[in-house]
Structure 1
Amino acid sequence: MSILLEAEHLTKTFIQRGKNPLKAVNDVSFTLKKGETLGIVGESGSGKSTIAKLLTRLTDITEGTLKFEGKDITRLKQSQLKEVYGDIQMVFQNPVGSFDPRRTLGDGIGESLRNRGMKKADVEKRVAELLEQCGLEKEYAKRYPHEVSGGQCQRAAIARALAVEPKVLICDEATSALDVTIQKQIMELLKDLKEKKGLSFIFICHNLALVQMFCDRVLVLYEGKVVESGIPDDIINEPKEEYTQRLVDAVLS
């Protein structure tokens, strides 16, 4: 499989007035191959979400290199990032908060299509198709974020991310705000998208059980550093680090 995304020695340092600099991400390296799902796990504050923002260039990289399909995208500026955003999309933890409350779900899903010059009628047709792919009827396009459940809103958020036909979907704790039943439904949807569309995923999560079910490989983060990596079954069944063992125990308890 060809490599889509390559991160080399990624570091993000936040400068805080009156405090020591904080390295939220510290010398992290990994690759993501076409059709592969890479899990990133760790406790709150381990640097998982910061990595997601670095990969989507929502946050500038302090040190290191980020390449997509062999092209260095580390220092691209706003006007140059349009192509990157078409290839790499993110699904956030809080689906309702990720939509504009003043606009319908259909408006939010279709925004990127309108920005690319698609005609209104074609946008509406495509939005209906995307909603259907994600298990929602086309009527949901007319609803506002506060008018649907968290699970329905997350399905709409996934539909929005798929609108530009990305190659990589980054899920940043995309199921953690949902109850167990809805969480299972969203995971089934992601698995279906992976199989049918051949998408590559970065699956950021604190739940090792979900990672074991969905991911091909996993990175374990602690205080911004990768402390362990490998196949999920190996990491869970024979963790090498005490920190990883604590994560495993948290699932079993």
Structure 2
Amino acid sequence: MSILLEAEHLTKIFTQRGKNPFKAVNDVSFTLKKGETLGIVGESGSGKSTIAKLLTRLTDITEGTLKFEGKDITRLKQSQLKEVYGDIQMVFQNPVGSFDPRRTLGDGIGESLRNRGMKKADVEKRVAELLEQCGLEKEYAKRYPHEVSGGQCQRAAIARALAVKPKVLICDEATSALDVTIQKQIMELLEDLKEKNGLSFIFICHNLALVQMFCDRVLVLYEGKVVESGIPDDIINEPKEEYTRRLVDAVLS
């Protein structure tokens, strides 16, 4: 499989006046191949979400290199990032908060299509197709975020991410705000999209059980550094690091 995304020595340092610099991501390297799902796990504050923002260029990289399909995208700015946003999309933890409360779900899903010059009728048709693909009836396009359940809103958020036909979907704790039953349904949807669309995933999660079910490889983060990596079954059944053992025990206990 060809490599889609390549991160080399990614580092992010946050600075704040009167405080010591904080290294949220510390020399992290990995690759993502076409059709692969890479899990990133770790407790809160381990750097998972910061990595997601670095990969989508929502946050500038302090040190290191990020390449997509061999092209260096580390320092791209503003209009240069439009192509990147077409290839890499993110689904956030809080589905309701990720939509504008004053606009319908259909408006939110179709925004990227309108920005690319698609005609109104074509946008409406595409939005209906995306909703159906994600398990929602086309009537949901007329609803507002507060008018639907968390699971329905997350389905709409996934539909929005798929609108520009990305090659990589980054799920940043995309199921953690949902109850167990809805979480299972969303995971089944992601698995279906992976098979039908040939998507590659970065699956950021603190739940090793979900990672074991969904991911091909996994990185374990602790204080911004990768402390262990490998196949999920190996990591969970025979963890080498004490920190990983604690994560596994937290799932099994």
In structure 1, list runs of 5 or more residues that go unmatched: none
For residues 130-167 of structure 1, give each alpha carbon's deviation from its aligned partner in whole angstroms, at most 9, with x where no partner exists. Answer: 00000000000000000000000000000000000000
For residues 33-77 of structure 1, give each alpha carbon's deviation from its aligned partner in whole angstroms, at most 9, with x where no partner exists. Answer: 000000000000000000000000000000000000000000000
The secondary structure found in structure 2 opposite 1:146 is helix
How far apart in 2 are the matches of 1:16 and 1:225?
A: 21
Could you tell me how far 1:20 is from its partner in structure 2?
Answer: 1.0
Could you tell me how far 1:28 is from its partner in structure 2?
Answer: 0.0
Runs ≥4 residues deviating over 2 A: none
The secondary structure found in structure 2 opposite 1:81 is helix
Could you tell me how far 1:230 is from its partner in structure 2?
Answer: 0.1
What percentage of residue pairs aligned between the two structures are identical?
97
TM-score (norm 1): 1.00
How far apart in 1 are the matches of 2:215 and 2:17?
A: 39
How far apart in 1 are the matches of 2:16 and 2:229?
A: 31
For residues 69-91 of structure 1, give each alpha carbon's deviation from its aligned partner in whole angstroms, at most 9, with x where no partner exists. Answer: 00000000011000000000000
For residues 75-111 of structure 1, give each alpha carbon's deviation from its aligned partner in whole angstroms, at most 9, with x where no partner exists. Answer: 0001100000000000000000000000000000000
How far apart in 2 are the matches of 1:63 and 1:78?
A: 19
The secondary structure found in structure 2 opposite 1:44 is coil
How far apart in 2 are the matches of 1:144 and 1:51?
A: 30
TM-score (norm 2): 1.00
> What is aligned with 2:58?
58
The secondary structure found in structure 1 opposite 2:23 is strand
How far apart in 1 are the matches of 2:61 and 2:22?
A: 14
Matches within 5 A, 1:65-144: 65-144=65-144
How far apart in 1 are the matches of 2:17 and 2:218?
A: 35
In structure 2, list runs of 5 or more residues that go unmatched: none
How far apart in 2 are the matches of 1:5 and 1:236?
A: 25
How far apart in 1 are the matches of 2:190 and 2:142?
A: 24
Could you tell me how far 1:18 is from its partner in structure 2?
Answer: 1.3
Could you tell me how far 1:17 is from its partner in structure 2?
Answer: 1.5
- RMSD, aligned α-carbons: 0.3
